[in-house]
Structure 1
Amino acid sequence: MASETNSNREHFGSRLGFILAAAGAAVGLGNIWGFPTQAASNGGGAFLLVYLVMILIVAFPMLVVEMAIGRYGQANPVDSMKSLTSNPAAKKLGGLVGWIGLSVPSAVLAFYSIVGGWLICFLLGAISSLLGLEQATEWFKGFSVERNLFGAIVFYAFTILIVQGGVKKGIEKWSTRLMPALFVLFALLFVYIITQQGAMEGLKHYLLPDFSKIWDRKLILAAMGQGFFSLTIGGCSMLIYGSYLSKKENLPKMAMNVTLVDTAVAFIAGLVVMPAMFVAMQKGVQIYAEDGSLLSSDTLVFTVLPLMFDSLGWWGELFSIIFFLLLTIAALTSSISMLECPVALVSERFDIKRSTTSWVLGGLIALFSIAIIFNFAQLFGLVATIATQYLQPTAALLFCVFGGWVWNRQAKIKELEQGCAEFSLGWFGKVWPSYVKFVCPLLVVTVIWASFG
């Protein structure tokens, strides 16, 4: 099956293109919104330290599995999972695992695009505020069905336009522009915020760990979950991007580069958001409740930080634009990888033009988003929970079990030795096959168990 779809498959044009695209897929609101929020809720520096350890022992080995399955299969998630075995029954099961995997990006995109739409509206609201257009600002920052529809549709249009361009002309071209822009915007924000009163206190809270909290069970589980989701393990994006990776490339090294870029973004987001929270506290914005818990963890990005920008006058408005532009870019680099998963399947299976597939599938998922917008209170939280707490960890566990137990050990090692001839000689090559088989499934089960706790 894998060889059939292999003949004219597009590949990334450069190493940097792949690293930035894959890191872009992983870098989303989870890094810029979720990570600092989790750090603020779980003791700052202690959380950061545990998170860095968890990324290496939980997320990285599984990222290698997902990328290796994609590159071995050279196809969409369904056909790549089937290619791992010649046993007819296991092949069928593999196909089913691929379909479960594919449901993840589709379900996540349905609610993620709504949030992406909010970001675009807040960005436009910040621009209209700077221009003194009060009515427009009020509309963009208000929470109405019309505004939510407008934002989501604009966000979908951007996502579809990038995906229809293909791997090199769409995903790679835009990732190599958007990701550096992300770092430049972060640097600007950091320089600005660190000069404000109260910022240094926030920086200390973030960078100096309280070692007594490091063994806190709640903190360890939160860090494990955050690491797992920040690299979109089980989200199919890494599998599909792996399938566009040349066999000449050193796969573990590429996976490590993606991990490092993704972790760097989360770390830098903390450098910006944590001091910003302390600056906001200096300005009288209440962030923590009496018991020390965050008051508005899920809306931190939309309430607390804009309040801080508002209190800083004209400069604040300017940096508010930079902040929401940054978040929109982060959301887009993820959404393009989500849409790419079903688009790859349909255009490969039915040999349909990519542009048609992108608009049709993007449109279908957008219809689901529109249904969520019209029934927001009932559906938004429900879809988000099903996608991130049930579907994604289940897909990750199944990828892990298939990659560890069904995929023959020799074939696995051979795949990784392409582009890295000495793979099985190093300690990682010796440990990894068994680690994926026994340790990774246990870790994923722990993440699933913790999400119900």
Structure 2
Amino acid sequence: MSAPRGQFSSNFGFLMAAAGSAVGLGNIWGFPTNVAANGGAAFVVIYLVLAFLLAYPVLMAELAIGRYARSNMVKALREISPGPVSRAAGTLTGLGGILVASLILSFYAIVAGWMVAHLADPVATLVGAKEAAAWMTGDSTARNFTFTAIFSGFTMLIIASGVEKGIERWSTLLMPSLILLLLLLIVYVLAQPGAFQGLEAYLIPDFSKLSPELLLSAMGQAFFSLSLGVGTMLIYGSYLSKQESLPRLGALVTLIDVGIAFTAGLLILPAMYVAQEAGTQIFSEAGDLIAGPGLILQVLPALFDSMGTTGLFVAIAFFALMSIASLTSSISMLEVPVAFSIESLGLKRKPATLMMGLIIFLISTVIIFNFDSLFGLVISISTEYGQPLLGVALCIFAGWIWRRDQLLMEMQEGHEGIENTLFWKIWPWYVRIVCPLLILAAFAQTVL
């Protein structure tokens, strides 16, 4: 007998959980440097438009399927499938989503462990534990294993507590904390020499850099930033009350996600130019701004080191921000396989969390001990191939396989008269035809 399903107790709880899932490390370190390299404010405008032209419609498909079926990804896709062939396809797609979510979490937990280690580093320095601090920032297998285990343990503790007492409670605590830390750091960094040069790179448009490749890059950023395709939003949708309007909630989640991504740029780009002012190299040999782990683990720590004792407190605030962003995303990813274990395998929540959490941690461990050969490969398989193809599959299920009358009835829950709105006149055919083509275009650009 499976455990009873949970449910979000409020709109705010769902919004914080869904926004937390969407707001991760990629928003904070990837989006700002992507903007600076692709025309500044011109890229921001295109990204904002595409977030609603591509990401929002797919988000709506996931939320609608999840709330209608009230179950995990496998059972949900089978539930909306009318025949044996489509049910078999639903099973394969659902299992694929669980696998890809688990693979993403397996490497994400390693990167998140780096954030926790760098959070502990200035604390250790303040109390005089210099050897421990040096070990935390060293690139050793033992360090990676230890902090991946710590981060994975935190994630499992939250998921084991359930939807309302775990996911919702922690999301409503962590997301406001993330926003507050982000704003405080922005205020501090903007007061430093060189900050306004970074603001110019971020906010002044350079339309000469506009190109088809830039459009596809913005499209991919919009789609992936909302953690679509792997069932996280489908699962969160399954915990929503029938009294809520899905189009309104989906729009709010999209606005919060792009808003935080944009706000992160007001911190990261100025901080990079402050670091350059302090003598740190912020451009690669190819002339591009350093992004990704190199930005977070090399450029900004060098800036913090140049600030003396003040830099230790700024580093604590910054890596607390990064650790919170990591955690709010990781709990949504772990919930995907845990929900399947509870509802399809009949496990209680705590044993299901322990089992799936340990399996994913085991995959992380294999990656850690074979880092050079596996880390990039797992990222490529899961995010460059798995996620977009699953996104296309979800559009096909929502647009082609699910009966239109059932879809309309689900959308009418919490939004009476939606059949007369502009949303219903556009969204069904848009998610059926336009979204799969846009995702495949971004996928082709990434792969080819």
Whether the aligned pair in 1 keeps the contact of 2:82 and 2:402 (CA below 8 Å) is no
2:171 and 2:290 map into 1 onto residues whose CA distance is: 34
CA RMSD of aligned residues (A): 1.4
Partner residue in 1 for 2:8: 12
In the TM superposition, what are the counterparts of 1:319-334 in structure 2 within 5 Å? 319-334=314-329
Partner residue in 1 for 2:202: 206
1:329 and 1:218 map into 2 onto residues whose CA distance is: 32
Partner residue in 2 for 1:191: 187
Corresponding residue SS for 1:360: helix
Amino acid at match of 1:224: M
User: 114, 135, 145: which is aligned to 1:118?
Assistant: 114
Partner residue in 1 for 2:28: 32
Partner residue in 1 for 2:389: 394
Give the TM-score taking structure 2 as reference length. 0.97
1:372 and 1:9 map into 2 onto residues whose CA distance is: 33
Whether 1:272 and 2:267 are equivalent positions in the alignment is yes
What's the CA shift string for 1:19-48, capped at 9, x where partnerless? 100111111111111111212322322221
Whether the aligned pair in 2 keeps the contact of 1:103 and 1:391 (CA below 8 Å) is no
Task: Give the superposition deviation at 1:295.
Answer: 4.0
Runs of 4+ in 1 over 3 A off after TM superposition: 289-292, 295-298
Whether 1:225 and 2:225 are equivalent positions in the alignment is no
Task: Give the superposition deviation at 1:234.
Answer: 0.2
**Percent of aligned positions with the same letter in both sequences?**
47
1:357 and 1:178 map into 2 onto residues whose CA distance is: 24
Task: Give the superposition deviation at 1:218.
Answer: 2.2
**Would the alpha carbon gap of residues 113 and 291 (structure 1) be closer, same or farther in structure 2, given more than 3 Å must change?**
closer
1:245 and 1:264 map into 2 onto residues whose CA distance is: 23
In the TM superposition, what are the counterparts of 1:378-393 in structure 2 within 5 Å? 378-393=373-388
Whether the aligned pair in 1 keeps the contact of 2:29 and 2:291 (CA below 8 Å) is no
In the TM superposition, what are the counterparts of 1:166-185 in structure 2 within 5 Å? 166-185=162-181
Corresponding residue SS for 1:285: coil
In the TM superposition, what are the counterparts of 1:13-92 in structure 2 within 5 Å? 13-92=9-88
Amino acid at match of 1:440: C
2:222 and 2:379 map into 1 onto residues whose CA distance is: 18
1:442 and 1:133 map into 2 onto residues whose CA distance is: 55
Partner residue in 2 for 1:142: 138
Partner residue in 1 for 2:365: 370
Bigger shift: 326-335 or 341-350?
Answer: 341-350
Partner residue in 2 for 1:103: 99
Task: Give the superposition deviation at 1:288.
Answer: 1.8
2:285 and 2:362 map into 1 onto residues whose CA distance is: 42
Corresponding pairs, count: 448
Whether the aligned pair in 1 keeps the contact of 2:106 and 2:363 (CA below 8 Å) is yes
Task: Give the superposition deviation at 1:120.
Answer: 0.6
**Would the alpha carbon gap of residues 244 and 295 (structure 1) be closer, same or farther in structure 2, given more than 3 Å must change?**
closer
Task: Give the superposition deviation at 1:86.
Answer: 2.4
User: 249, 255, 264: which is aligned to 1:260?
Assistant: 255
Corresponding residue SS for 1:430: helix
Amino acid at match of 1:305: L
1:340 and 1:371 map into 2 onto residues whose CA distance is: 22
Amino acid at match of 1:364: I
Task: Give the superposition deviation at 1:297.
Answer: 4.5
Bigger shift: 294-303 or 368-377?
Answer: 294-303
Corresponding residue SS for 2:87: helix
Partner residue in 2 for 1:240: 235
1:350 and 1:223 map into 2 onto residues whose CA distance is: 39
Amino acid at match of 2:97: G
1:311 and 1:298 map into 2 onto residues whose CA distance is: 20
What's the CA shift string for 1:413-450, capped at 9, x where partnerless? 21111110121211111100010111011011011101
